[in-house]
Amino acid sequence: MTTKNKTEIYWTLLKNKDWNIYLAATSKGLVFVGSQNKPFEELSVWAERRFPGIPLVEDGEKLQPYAVELIEYFEGKRTSFTVPFDYNGTEFQLAVWNALCEIPYGQTKSYSDIANYIQRPAAVRAVGTAIGANPVLITVPCHRVVGKNGSLTGYRGGLEMKTQLLNMERQGLTAKER
């Protein structure tokens, strides 16, 4: 991981109904979306591991565009995100994360579907590892990936958060069909 051109990481705590999530961004884009109701340490430990020595600066104003889109998502008014990302990863991780962004709102795909999509059908376990390294939950929708048999599988935010997100999206689709 390189840290060039990253002089500060800005953060804020997004509070919306039952959701308390830490967000972080550089001047280039969103770098971190935390797990529901987790402490600040989730962000600080991640940041120190990924960007050692880069200061974390609380700045709700800089994070406002990201917070607005997440709130719209939680309210069922947004099905995809337009904010810029500044995530760092290997070429393989970036391919997986980009593939996740192609999963339509309210739908799910399996790990093997993602492996096939990126034309690496034998890399199902590596796809799982890359998904687990996704630093921007919700906005890069790794919660939409399930086991081949449709069962819920691991999620950095926990299976309860994954279930809530999937249920919220299903309800959003149902409301739009009325």
Which residues are tagged catalytic? 142
- Whether 2 contacts 53, CB under 8 Å: no
Which of 132, 117, 143, 138 is CA-nearest to residue 19?
A: 138
Give Cα separations from 3 to 6, 25, 87, 123, 125 (angstroms).
6, 13, 11, 29, 28
Q: Which residues contact 1 (CB under 8 A, 6 or more apart)?
A: 50, 51, 88
